[in-house]
């Protein structure tokens, strides 16, 4: 069994296309995260300037205390919203990366199985045991990967549920204070 130059070129091309796809995905996530951070920073700066002006125009200490107290809640709400948005970007980016890895793993497995089948056809007599062992090892590796992937997805779902629960508690506390 020989590897042809066309096979090498095709493999290299697929690898480069995968890397380019990965780079596009990560740059898009970085761009979203950068815009989110810029907007949050700009908003915090504008809020800080407005609060400083209000404090400087306050008539007495009680008004300053009231201004400081009233400024705290919107700041916490914005921090929670920012955290939620960062989490959304990270989750989306992780999902895209997972899809890419799963596709590559599937393609790799198909290639290995095809290679093993090709080699087994040209293998000397008595090598059936070795071929079966390779196929068994590949099946075990795929099973382990599937298990790890399921556990990872469950952990992600649990983290997302905890984040949502924490956000809901913060929102309920905010609503309770309004009433």
Question: Which DSSP string corresponds to 66-128?
Answer: HHHHHHHHHHHHHHHHHHHHHHHHHHHHHHHHHHHHHHHHHHHHHHHHHHHHHHHHHSPTTTH
The pLDDT assigned to 133 comes to: 80
- Judged against a pLDDT cut of 80, whether residue 1 lies above it is answered with no
The pLDDT assigned to 57 comes to: 93
Report how far residue 89's alpha carbon sits from residue 72's, in angstroms, rounded to the nearest whole number.
26
Output the six-digit token pair for 16: 């480069």
Structure pTM?
0.65
Most confident of 91-95, 102-106, 109-113, 158-162: 91-95
The pLDDT assigned to 33 comes to: 95
């Amino acid at each position: 069994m020989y590897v042809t130059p066309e096979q090498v070129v095709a493999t290299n091309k697929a690898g480069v296309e995968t890397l380019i796809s990965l780079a596009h995905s990560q740059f898009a996530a970085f761009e979203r995260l950068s815009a989110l951070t810029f907007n949050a920073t700009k908003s915090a700066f504008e809020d800080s300037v407005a609060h400083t002006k209000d404090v400087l125009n306050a008539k007495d200490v009680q008004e300053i205390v009231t201004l400081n107290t009233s400024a705290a809640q919107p700041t916490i709400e914005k921090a929670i919203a920012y955290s939620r948005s960062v989490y959304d970007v990270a989750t989306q980016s992780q999902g895209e990366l997972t899809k890419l890895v799963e596709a590559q793993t599937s393609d790799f497995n198909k290639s290995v199985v095809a290679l093993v089948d090709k080699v087994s056809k040209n293998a000397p007599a008595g090598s059936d045991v070795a071929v079966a062992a390779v196929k068994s090892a590949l099946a075990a590796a795929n099973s382990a990967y599937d298990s790890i992937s399921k556990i990872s997805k469950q952990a992600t779902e649990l983290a997302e549920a905890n984040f949502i629960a924490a956000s809901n508690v913060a929102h309920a506390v905010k609503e309770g204070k309004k009433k």
